[in-house]
């Protein structure tokens, strides 16, 4: 049987694998997504999209589909002794060049279902109920063998297959896992309570800070409850919630999802093998849910990787461009794991017994990772920083600068007269931006990468 030929074989149809396939579609690349599940996620998992992800969704044309479905949340509160003792959002308020200074509280299933639907509409549905038995490197790329014996020939393989990644283990990429012996219950549902309900992330301070209340889309609320034992019941988790929110009480009118997870932390030693096989999302980095960074970091992996594959496959960029994926994303993963590690440990350990306050203080110090807006590629100057977002007036309408970007191209933005003093990559869109009083780039030309980071800058 002749092998199916494609540009990219993607193992895993979680949000990262699906996003890789959708971005490949935007670039005109062929991608095959393989997953053993029968359908996209329906309940549970990640619960928030951060400010940087919302900007990336604008580039990909997905923002308008998702934003109206979620709930805005930008305040982290501490509850102790029967009242709020702290309410902070200053790390969001201080963000520059950002219209959406908040989390969008929206469950992972909404992201997966939208991307799955987009791929179906593009005539490239996920191949579900499908397992992968082997992947080997060939002279020109990779050959993926499925459980039913079919083969797929591709230039690249992306392992987006989760924390127990078959691809990572197949190629023996070291992934040393730290387990800090912290176990959490997570409960999603519709609640009934006499607590003064607010759209805020509330950390409860009792003898520790072992309960957090997370607002969600629609009528759903989420509770994280630190149990620190594998043997517990739903009633025991709810009992801890009620202990934390005294003198108030709550009960679930409808329980949508109940699960438990132990905290694990690791970053893969390598994110790629021979410039052909790449790891993304949980296959390359895992950590606690604290800070809401997992899904967001994985989606940023996808946005970083696919445009580079496109440049190499279609626009004659050197294969060495692909090495920048690991160079750029691994330091981010290490920073995210360190941030989530500090947060999760603060719920259990505190020198002064101020666990919840410590937690919020860490969020403030590490807000660049929590909001996603502090991530940059490079140490100095504007190169490698994110393009700031602001409103501009075009001939047709007033619009966000991010809505002018195109994931399939570099974009040259000129904010004044004159020509830039640097060479332009192949297939660069040039946009002269009318003067705007909110523009931070007067009399400059910016070369912006497909993922919204500044590649070069010059005065005009």
pLDDT digits 0-9 by tens, 227-262: 988 899 999 999 999 999 999 999 999 999 999 989
In the prediction, which pLDDT does 45 show? 87
| DSSP β-bridge partners for residue 72 | 104
In the prediction, which pLDDT does 222 show? 96
Q: What percent of the chain has pLDDT over 70?
A: 100
Exposure letters 275-293 (e unless 16+ CB within 10 A, then b)? ebbbbbbbbbbbbbbbbbb
What whole-number distance in Å separates Cα of residue 349 and Cα of residue 290?
Answer: 15
In the prediction, which pLDDT does 357 show? 84
In the prediction, which pLDDT does 407 show? 97
In the prediction, which pLDDT does 360 show? 86
Helix (H) or strand (E) holding 454: strand 454-459
pLDDT of 1 higher than 80? no
Helix (H) or strand (E) holding 79: strand 76-80
What distances in angstroms separate CA 341 from CA 181, 182, 183, 209, one per listed residue?
A: 12, 11, 13, 15
In the prediction, which pLDDT does 184 show? 92
- 35, 126 in Cβ contact below 8 A? yes
pLDDT of 207 higher than 80? no
- 91-149 residue pLDDT tens: 899 999 999 999 999 999 999 999 999 999 999 999 999 999 999 999 899 999 999 99
In the prediction, which pLDDT does 155 show? 97
| DSSP β-bridge partners for residue 14 | none
Could you tell me the pTM of the whole model?
0.96
In the prediction, which pLDDT does 12 show? 98
- 284-333 residue pLDDT tens: 999 999 889 999 999 999 999 999 999 999 999 999 999 999 999 999 99
In the prediction, which pLDDT does 346 show? 86
Q: What percent of the chain has pLDDT over 90?
A: 77
What whole-number distance in Å separates Cα of residue 282 and Cα of residue 267?
Answer: 9
In the prediction, which pLDDT does 307 show? 98
pLDDT of 436 higher than 80? no
In the prediction, which pLDDT does 161 show? 97
What does the angle CA 26 – CA 444 – CA 54 come to, to the nearest 5 degrees? 40
pLDDT of 385 higher than 90? yes
What distances in angstroms separate CA 398 from CA 54, 55, 56, 390, 448, one per listed residue?
A: 19, 17, 19, 10, 20
Q: Which domains does the chain have, with CATH numbers?
A: 4-71+107-177+266-370 (3.50.50.60), 391-459 (3.40.30.120)
Residue 112: which residues within 8 A CB-CB, separation 6 or more? 13, 14, 15, 18, 40, 41
Average pLDDT, rounded, for the chain: 93
Residues in the chain: 460
Assign 108 to helix, strand or coil: helix
- 37-75 residue pLDDT tens: 999 999 988 999 999 999 999 999 999 999 999 999 999
More confident residue, 346 or 117: 117
């Amino acid at each position: 049987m002749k092998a199916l030929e494609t540009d990219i074989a993607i193992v895993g149809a979680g949000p990262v694998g699906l996003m890789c396939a959708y971005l490949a579609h935007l670039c005109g690349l062929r991608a095959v997504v393989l997953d053993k599940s029968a359908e996209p996620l329906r309940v549970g998992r990640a619960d928030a999209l951060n400010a940087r992800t919302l900007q990336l969704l604008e580039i990909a044309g997905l923002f308008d589909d998702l934003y109206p479905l979620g709930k805005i949340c930008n305040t982290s509160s501490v509850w102790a002794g029967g009242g709020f003792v702290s309410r902070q959002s200053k790390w969001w308020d201080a963000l520059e060049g950002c219209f959406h200074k908040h989390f969008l509280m929206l469950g992972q299933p909404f992201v997966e279902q939208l991307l799955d639907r987009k791929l179906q509409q593009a005539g490239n549905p996920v191949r579900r109920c499908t397992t992968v038995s082997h992947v080997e490197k060939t002279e020109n790329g990779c050959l993926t063998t499925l459980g039913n014996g079919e083969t797929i020939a591709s230039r690249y393989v992306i392992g987006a297959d989760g924390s127990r990644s078959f691809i990572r283990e197949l190629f023996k990429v070291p992934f040393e896992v730290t387990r800090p012996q912290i176990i959490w219950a997570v409960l999603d549902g519709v609640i009934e309570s006499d607590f003064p309900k607010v759209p805020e992330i509330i950390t409860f301070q009792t003898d520790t800070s072992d309960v957090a209340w997370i607002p969600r889309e629609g009528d759903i609320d989420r509770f994280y409850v630190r149990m620190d034992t594998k043997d517990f019941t739903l009633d025991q988790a709810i009992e801890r919630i009620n202990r934390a929110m005294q003198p108030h009480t709550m009960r679930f009118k409808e329980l949508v999802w109940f699960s438990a997870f132990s905290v694990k932390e690791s970053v893969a030693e390598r994110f790629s093998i021979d410039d052909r096989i790449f790891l993304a999302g949980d296959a390359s980095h895992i950590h606690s849910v604290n800070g809401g960074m997992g899904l967001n970091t994985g989606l940023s992996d996808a946005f970083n990787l696919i445009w580079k594959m496109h440049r190499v496959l279609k626009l004659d960029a050197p294969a060495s461009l692909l090495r920048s994926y690991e160079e750029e994303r691994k330091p981010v993963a290490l920073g995210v794991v360190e941030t989530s590690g500090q947060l999760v440990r603060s719920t259990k350990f505190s020198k002064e017994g101020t666990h919840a306050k410590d937690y919020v203080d860490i969020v403030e110090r590490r807000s660049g990772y929590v909001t996603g807006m502090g991530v940059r590629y490079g140490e100095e100057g504007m190169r490698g920083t994110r393009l700031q977002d602001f409103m501009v007036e075009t001939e047709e309408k007033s619009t966000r600068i991010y809505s002018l970007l195109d994931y399939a191209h570099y974009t040259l933005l000129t904010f004044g007269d004159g020509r830039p003093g640097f060479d332009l990559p192949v297939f660069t869109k040039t946009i002269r931006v009318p003067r705007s009083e909110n523009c931070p780039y007067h009399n400059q030309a910016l070369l912006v990468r497909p993922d919204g980071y500044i590649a070069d800058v010059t005065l005009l």
